[in-house]
Structures are given as structure tokens and as C-alpha cells.
Chains A and B, each alone.
Chain A
């Protein structure tokens, strides 16, 4: 397989880079300054693309690589891959489901606790050396609060199970009701937001879920409500979110993703009721290795004409 050209479009894991270069002829797209020239030169040798949450394969890139057979993404979300185009051209697409479910669900709960209990603010306070005994603020307890989840897929269910251990009533919104689950279903996001204390975005990003958190939803959640986003940045109308937080119309937010990553609205930097993370939902040593192994496994299976491990298209 050493002659097979594999194009990695963005950096994601050093381990993955090492393992890929042992097996394939690996090109790291981000190291080439003239991308157009690179594509021209290598268009006939690249048979696979390895994408990630930050970059994948859009229509233009797919069209410019006539020998492309497979897009293996180092992510569960495939919003950066033109799935319709891939389907039309018979290009296979894989993602890395399941292995990151626990980490993302853990982080969602971590964000809830960090926002409600002001963990980051506390840590900043102690590190500033200003801690004085008797100087305290009361925070809000998580245990028992109502958690609303948008998108009850693997990650959403993982969050629900964890929140249940904190005695939280769970409700959810998704396209269709899941009658096998005992959680309360709302057929629209607005009703869900009006009836929960903490709203967690855990659905895939599609045209329908773009800005699913808009001004109305934020106002329905209200000045005591907390928004958690561990999905994708464009799920949330970020301009509206920022103004709601600055105006005190929303109680707090825990954000692992942003609309224009790695850029984060600077207005948020001074707020103590927000927690801002650099997209680390699946960012653990253990899980990134499992994800890399799935990407490699999918590519090997494809080129050995075996069934793919985690096919999407």
C-alpha cells in the first residue's frame, strides 16, 4: 500500500501521522503553501483523504482529485465533508463513532459543573493570590436540575445517563420521538428550552440544525438557564449568544465549540459565568489513539477490499 497517496487535510494527531506514513505515501496538505499547485501535481496519485473536525473534503477538493476513493474522517461529525458529492461519485466516507462518545459526554457534564459551580472562576481566584477567608459566593447546585438535550444520539444518551446519576430529570428534542426511552420528549426546541435549567446541544450539524440555538431559544432558556455546546459552533447563533450573555438574558454558557474556531468572541473573556474550551470534546490520549486506529483500519480495509469498519457513505 506504500504507493497509495493519502492526503491529510489538517493536523489532528501525531500518532495518526506516524502510523499513516508507515503504511501509505502521506501528504500533509497544511505544509504546502501553494495548494492549487500541489493538487495539480498529485491529482492522479491521491486515492484517500483523511479529514477531521476542522477540515474535510468540500466539492472543489473532491472534484480536483479524480482518483479519490475514500474520505476517512478523524471525527464523528462529517459537516466538513460534502456527503452528497461523495455519494454521487461513489466515494466512500467513514467517521469515528462510539469511541469518543464517553469523552464528549464526560466533558458535557464537566462543562455543566464548571459553569454552575464556577470552577474556572474559583481556580483563577486562587491563582491570583487574592483568596481571603470568609470571602465567598454561593453558586448553583447541579444535582436535581432539569437537563434538556438536543439530539439524543449516542452522545446525547451518554449525557442523559450521567445526568441521571445527579438526580436530574431529563428531557430532549430530536427529529423523531424515541418511545423506547423514558425521557420526556419535546417536538420543538423552544418548548424544551422553556422547560429546562440546562440545555445541551449534542446533535449533528446539518442545514436544519444550523443556528438551532437562536435568540428565541436563548430567551426561552432565560437568565437562570445555562447553555452547553459540545456539538459544533454553527449550532449556535454566536452573535445572539454573546449579546444575551452580556445583557444578562442568559445565566451562563459552557462552550467547547465556536462558530469561527479558533477565534472566540473576546467579549466572553471577561465573563465569569462562561467556560471556554478549545474544542477538546474527544481530546484525551486514550480516545485520540482509538480514533486514529479506526481511521487507519478503515483505509486498510478499503484498499484490501474488505468491509469498512465504520462506513457512513
Chain B
């Protein structure tokens, strides 16, 4: 028996090392699956092994949005790839990766459908007051108050999509079936897309009733939804954010909502999560969600496949499945 387990141990030692990088509150469910191919090294479980593995770690598996700083990257001189498991990779120091020539992968399309349908759900909820209506019924107010205030129609709304990547395209496909007209903003016009393109978000906002924010967070997109964009969207406009909190100037958004200068909002992400501005808690034209757009059973199964496929491709010197363009 002793021999057998030694053998197993030896066999495991020979597998490629993958460093698991996670915040203490994050865990992942498919460690056993990865262990059959890789020797997993988790510094949170065995901090004493960091020095031992320093020079042999070529791949990091980053669980969810655990921050990957330049200090962390500097600790592993042989690092060649960071396999991410989230759609956005703003938690990874991309500049440092670029400098060192380290490849980064993201969730690819694993989360696109879940995030896109969530955006549609938030939009219907905000326009039709679903969460507020549910609150009204559960509070026992229906028999007392009688008629519930009217919502707004989704059909015919002009929806502007900020960031027409895989999530944005899925949002567009769905909302087209509700009779919405679609337009978009992104860094570059996409020649294969039939929707009108606006190079400036402000111009998109002027011509939209709804903005759905689903672009990546980068220096250029920080506060892409600012005061001017909100003014352009106007007082019946609705903002849906399933991207990142910092894409929206949250202080301004709260002020616009408080003053009634914008029609409503559906927010899955916030600037300083898990902090959410208290002013929003009493508004019926706002839907608040704790960063869950991608958290479905199905997308977790899909992300396992993407992570496994990227690791396999890397160690087999094949093209990565979902590389992040890091120019």
C-alpha cells in the first residue's frame, strides 16, 4: 500500500504544475477533474511550498475575479499563461502580462448566454416593475392599495448596446425578438453586423431609450457612462449594467435617479461591491442584483470545459481556446 501511494504521489509530481490563484472566499468545484491531469498547487492550502514551486510554475489558473497583481506575476519568473475563469479580466494586470509576454484567457463564450439573458431580465424587470410588483404583493398591499402603478412597454424601444462582443450580440439577438430596434457602440465598427453603429456613446445615447452596458472594463471604458451620456439618454431612459460597476459613474447615476432625470436602471454590478448606494434601496424603478448575471449551473459547467481546454491547449502547444487580445 505504501508503495502504491508513493507511486501515485510520484506520478502526480510528474504532471505539469498549475498554480491555483484564488481569494480565500472563492472555491471551485472541479479540482478533482483538474487533478487527474495536473499537479495543482494552491498557495492558500500550502503556503510553505511557494518557494519550492517558484521556478516551475508556468501556468496560473485564476478562480473568478481574484486579483492578479504585478507582484504576484513577478513571483513566478517562468510564468507563461494565466487561465482566467471570468468574462472580464480587469482583475488581471494586463499591462504586466503584455510586458512579460504572458498569455491570458477568459471565459470565452461560456457566460455569454447567461449574462445576456440576465440583461434582458433586468430590462423587463425595470420597465415592467417586476421586482417592485413582487414586493408590493408580498407586503400585502394589493388588497389595500388596489391598482398597481403602470410600467412601460418594451416593444418598440430603441436599445443601444455598449460593447457588441459575445454578450452584447446575444443581448441584441434576444431583444430584436421583442420588437426593439438595436444600435451599438464599440471601439470599432463591426462590418458583419446589420445594426447602426455609433462611434460615440453620447450619440448612441441620444438615439436610444435603453442602454445596455456590456463592454470590457479598461482605462478607456472607465466611466464610459458619465453625466453627459445620462443627459443624452434622457429622463425616460433606462440603463442596464451587466458589465462592471466602474463602467458607470455611479455617483452621477444615483443623482440622476434621485432627481428623476433618468427613467430607471437595472444593475448587476457596482463600483465598490458589495457596497450599494443606499439611495437606490427605496426606488421602484431600479432593480438591484448582487453580481450574479453569469452564475448559473449551466455556465459553471461550461466554464470548466473552457478552463480545461485552455490548459490542455497550452501544455500541448496548441492554439488557446479563448485568448484575450492584449494589445
Contact = CB atoms under 8 A, between A and B. Distances in A.
Contact of B25 (A134, A269, A286): A134
B134 A102 contact: no
B177 A165 contact: yes
Contacts of B288: 122-123, 126-127
Given A120-B134, A126-B276, A134-B23, A283 B143 contact: no
Nearest to B64: A134
A140 to B, nearest CB: 6
Contact of B295 (A103, A139, A284, A287): A139
A213 to B, nearest CB: 19
A287 B153 CA distance: 7
A277 B134 contact: yes
Given A126-B276, A280-B148, A284-B153, A106 B299 contact: no
**Centre residue among A165, A167, A261, A286 by max chain B CB count within 10 A:** A165
B131 A119 contact: yes
A123 B295 contact: no
A132 B275 CA distance: 9
B113 A136 contact: no
Interface in A272-293: 275-280, 283-288
B151 A120 contact: no
Contact of B151 (A11, A140, A264, A283): A283
A278 B133 contact: yes
A132 B155 CA distance: 36
A129 B288 CA distance: 11
A308 B32 CA distance: 70
A302 B107 CA distance: 62
Given A123-B289, A136-B292, A266-B140, 19 more contacts: A11-B146, A107-B130, A110-B124, A110-B125, A113-B121, A113-B124, A114-B130, A117-B118, A119-B130, A119-B287, A134-B23, A134-B25, A165-B174, A166-B117, A262-B143, A278-B133, A280-B148, A285-B151, A286-B152
Interface of B: 23, 25-26, 113-114, 116-118, 120-122, 124-125, 127-131, 133-138, 140, 142-143, 146-148, 150-155, 173-174, 176-179, 273-274, 276, 278, 281, 287-292, 295-300
5 contacts: A134-B23, A143-B114, A264-B137, A284-B152, A285-B152
Interface of A: 11, 102-103, 106-107, 109-111, 113-114, 117-120, 122-127, 129, 131-144, 161-162, 164-167, 261-264, 266, 269, 275-280, 283-288
